Amino acid sequence: MLLFKKDEQGELMSNRATGAVKKIIPLGPTRETQEEGDPMDQSGEAIIALLHQAAGMAHSNSERAMDLAHKLSIQLRAAEEHIKELENDIGHFQGRAQRAEKWLARIYKDIEEKFFEQKTARSEQR
């Protein structure tokens, strides 16, 4: 007579008339595995969950990178404007320096003419 019983793990066992106990391997999903879910379905769902998680992280990283790029772009524009202002200042101060040099040359010339030519003229008269 063929009897079926469950072992400690809950798997079906058969007892044949010979008295040998053999383990029965189910060919299809049982009600218990259907309730728990097929391992292939579980694996697929886990993979999809990981993909969603990776997509979320990629989106988050992308947004952080875009925010940083925007901030750096604003800083770059401000630096470029500051450079333009400094270049304008350079032109202004170069012009002032050239005018100051011209004034110094004129003052030098006037001093030479007024003081040193008069000394040479007096020493020649004596």
The distance in angstroms from the start CA to the end CA of the chain is 159
In a domain, 108, yes or no: yes
4 and 55 assigned to the same domain:
no
22 and 43 assigned to the same domain:
no
Q: Structure tokens of 6?
A: 């469950």
d(CA 57, CA 20): 56
70 and 104 assigned to the same domain:
yes
Which residue has tokens 């000394």? 119
Angle at 41 between CA 39 and CA 47, to 5 degrees: 100
In a domain, 72, yes or no: yes
57 and 30 assigned to the same domain:
no
pLDDT score of 23 more than 70: no
Looking at residue 87, its amino acid is E
If one compares 81 and 30, the residue with the highest pLDDT of the two is 81
d(CA 106, CA 114): 12
70 and 115 assigned to the same domain:
yes
Q: pLDDT of 41-72, one tens digit each?
A: 999 999 999 999 999 999 999 999 999 999 99
Segments forming the whole domain that contains residue 20 = 1-37
Q: Structure tokens of 126?
A: 């004596």
The overall pTM is greater than 0.85: no
11 and 63 assigned to the same domain:
no
29 and 80 assigned to the same domain:
no
Residue 43's pLDDT is what?
Answer: 93
What is the total count of domains within the chain?
Answer: 2
pLDDT band at 2 (very low <50, low <70, confident <90, very high): very low
99 to each of 73, 84, 86, 94, 102, how far by Cα in Å?
39, 23, 20, 9, 5
In a domain, 126, yes or no: no
Q: Structure tokens of 18?
A: 């010979």
